[in-house]
Amino acid sequence: MQALLYLVGSLLSAVLVASGSQYASTCNLSPLGAGQDDTDQVMAAIEQCGDGGLTVFEEGEYNITRKMTWNLTSSRVELHGYLSFQPDYEYWLQNSSTYRVVYIQSQASWFIVTGSDFEIDAYNTGGINGNGQPWWDYFTTVPRLDGDGRPLALTVYQATRGTISNFLIEAPPFWCNCVAESSDIVYDGMLCNATNTNPEFYGQNIVPNTDGIDTYRVDNLVLRNFDITTGDDCIAVKGNTTNMLASNITCRGGNGIAYGSLGQYVDLPDYVENVTMTDLHVLRINPEIQPNMGSGVYFKSWDGTVNGSPPDNGGGGLGYVKNVVIRDAFLDNVTTPIALYQTNGAQSGDAPSKYQFANLTLLSFTGTYQKNPLVDIACSPAAPCPDLTFENINVTLLSGGTPAYECENVLSQTGLPVTCNSTVSSS
Ligand SMILES: *[C@@H]1O[C@H](CO)[C@@H](O)[C@H](O)[C@H]1NC(C)=O
Ligand SMILES: *[C@@H]1O[C@H](CO)[C@@H](O)[C@H](O)[C@H]1NC(C)=O
Ligand SMILES: *[C@@H]1O[C@H](CO)[C@@H](O)[C@H](O)[C@H]1NC(C)=O
Ligand SMILES: *[C@@H]1O[C@H](CO)[C@@H](O)[C@H](O)[C@H]1NC(C)=O
Ligand SMILES: *[C@@H]1O[C@H](CO)[C@@H](O)[C@H](O)[C@H]1NC(C)=O
Ligand SMILES: *[C@@H]1O[C@H](CO)[C@@H](O)[C@H](O)[C@H]1NC(C)=O
Ligand SMILES: *[C@@H]1O[C@H](CO)[C@@H](O)[C@H](O)[C@H]1NC(C)=O
Ligand SMILES: *[C@@H]1O[C@H](CO)[C@@H](O)[C@H](O)[C@H]1NC(C)=O
Ligand SMILES: *[C@@H]1O[C@H](CO)[C@@H](O)[C@H](O)[C@H]1NC(C)=O
Ligand SMILES: *[C@@H]1O[C@H](CO)[C@@H](O)[C@H](O)[C@H]1NC(C)=O
Ligand SMILES: *[C@@H]1O[C@H](CO)[C@@H](O)[C@H](O)[C@H]1NC(C)=O
């Protein structure tokens, strides 16, 4: 509800910003052209007009060769063109070439937007070109680790009352978006496209970790009108995401829409509360381009034992996900429509997770799936799940069989066959 109220507020302020006259200054840019470096002129424009001003980028490609922070205060940016981050991954992978502001998994950023009361509108003609293909090719032979320095394409960090609209992100090397330590942020119109075009790798997923957006330590967040082509999570709701509304989200390929992973940090509880999603479309695409289409929606936590330490390993973290509503999901040929597991990073003999999932409501799921069970819920014996509600879960098994439902350690559910909450084991 708070998210909905905020949305109305943001539309009003967008109208005010559109009236124009209040800008202290206006900066206009056009690309310098082939072989030139645009970073200086971009930084100069934002320094001059980012506080109270309007910055207008003409269409075209702006060559960005080093890390960049935009601090926008009462400011509007019209980004008709692409910020094209130079494809020299050896340069970007040096520690000093990126920022490390995203605490979770120590992820790297090459472009940070911070500040307050701003709008960036990219008019569906601009945004970011991540030039990811050489990165994806390179990381087919090098291990992909969290925190290894692959930069996420757009980081919104310590921002309040900001809107990002009609924004295209082509070929992100790593996560397409992350919003962290922020509040009252609206994304309205976001395209992320991690599509391998190298025939050598057709039929393989060479774009792991190209998540559409990860949310972390953020309150009052609206995600609307997303179109995400990925080899990983379409949306990943991570720790301390509260009062979030996502609507009209299209996910093409990858793992599906995730709540998690949560509980990675033993000393840092992850609280996720009031996260509503509506009008979801989760679609399998040409397997030559992207072979995976895992889940519609899934929930995941680490297990109860600490194995190694973040960014790559962890576990034992506490917290909860509660008051989740997911409504109107269309799934096309996903492997498993709805899943929950609490065994991320698990090794044999580990303690069960104490991370709590509660009060999850899933309504009106349609479409098709590949493999039973339709609902695969495995809550931890150390934190059985109360208050799971299902209604109109009508997804068709493509092979023609009868849907199956599995519920382990579910304290109470409604809407699935009653046998589905009958396997509570003792902890
Ligand atoms: C970007 O700028 C660098 C440094 O000046 C230059 O070497 C490179 O050719 C430019 N890239 C493009 C696509 O213009
Ligand atoms: C951003 O700009 C505002 C206004 O000029 C200033 O108060 C704030 O400290 C700046 N933030 C950062 C991170 O530089
Ligand atoms: C680069 O930064 C990472 C993460 O902060 C750190 O683990 C690593 O040791 C650093 N590498 C170098 C060469 O400084
Ligand atoms: C993503 O990029 C690929 C390759 O350029 C293109 O074929 C595809 O249409 C794009 N997808 C979307 C949804 O824009
Ligand atoms: C849903 O979002 C897509 C962009 O991803 C947009 O083209 C479409 O118009 C939106 N649909 C509605 C009903 O707003
Ligand atoms: C989440 O917020 C609580 C306070 O509400 C804090 O104690 C906890 O450390 C936060 N967790 C993360 C991951 O920031
Ligand atoms: C979740 O929503 C309820 C009902 O609107 C509200 O009372 C509660 O404070 C919200 N939780 C958080 C963490 O904001
Ligand atoms: C469950 O979540 C819904 C949606 O946020 C909320 O309205 C309801 O009060 C919650 N129920 C409980 C028992 O907390
Ligand atoms: C579902 O996806 C598989 C690939 O995983 C493909 O072989 C099959 O033709 C698809 N079925 C439908 C009905 O789209
Ligand atoms: C389930 O979906 C199928 C195929 O879309 C439809 O024919 C059927 O009427 C639906 N059943 C219910 C109970 O909604
Ligand atoms: C399963 O859940 C239903 C609805 O919450 C409840 O009435 C029933 O007693 C539960 N069954 C078991 C075996 O726990």
Contact 398 CB / ligand 9 (< 6 Å): yes
Ligand 2 lined by 75 (C-beta under 6 Å): no
Q: Which helix (H) or strand (E) holds 139?
A: none
State the sign of the Cα–Cα–Cα–Cα dihedral 39, 189, 235, 289.
negative
Q: What angle do CA 165, 233, 80 make, to 5 degrees?
A: 20
Domain parsing of the chain, residue ranges? 2-401
Give the CATH class of 2-401: mainly beta
Structural contact between residues 379 and 358, judged by C-beta atoms closer than 8 angstroms: no
Q: By the 8 A CB rule, do 333 and 370 touch?
A: yes
Question: pLDDT in tens for each of the 427 residues of the chain?
Answer: 455 444 444 544 544 454 455 799 999 999 999 999 999 999 999 999 999 999 999 999 999 999 999 999 999 999 999 999 999 999 999 999 999 999 999 999 999 999 999 999 999 999 999 999 999 999 999 999 999 999 999 999 999 999 999 999 999 999 999 999 999 999 999 999 999 999 999 999 999 999 999 999 999 999 999 999 999 999 999 999 999 999 999 999 999 999 999 999 999 999 999 999 999 999 999 999 999 999 999 999 999 999 999 999 999 999 999 999 999 999 999 999 999 999 999 999 999 999 999 999 999 999 999 999 999 999 999 999 999 999 999 999 999 999 999 999 999 999 998 777 666 554 4
The type of residue at 368 is: T
CA angle 69, 72, 76 (to 5 degrees): 125
Reading the block at residue 343, the tokens are: 């065994």
What is the rounded distance in angstroms from the CA atom of residue 259 to the CA atom of residue 277?
Answer: 11
Task: Please report, to the nearest 10 degrees, the dihedral formed by the alpha carbons of residues 48, 53, 59, 65 taken in order.
Answer: 30
233 catalytic per annotation: no
DSSP alpha helix (H) spans, 268-362:
none
The residues near 198 (Cβ < 8 Å, ≥ 6 apart) are 133, 136, 137, 206
Q: Probe ligand 9: pick from 202, 283, 333, max atoms within 8 Å of CB?
A: 333
Rg of the chain in Å (alpha carbons): 22
d(CA 407, CA 427): 16
Would you call 203 helix, strand, or coil by DSSP? Answer: coil
**CB of 335 shorter than 6 A to ligand 9:** no
Alpha-carbon gap, residue 281 to 45, rounded angstroms: 39
- How far does the centroid of ligand 6 lie from the alpha carbon of residue 266, in Å? 12
Of 162, 164, 154, which is closest to residue 185 (Cα–Cα)? 162
Distance 383 CA to ligand 3 centre (A): 36
Pocket test for ligand 4, best of 195, 196, 281, 285 (most atoms within 8 A of CB): 195
Residues 6+ apart with CB under 8 A from 212: 176, 177, 190, 192, 226, 228, 230, 233, 234, 235, 251
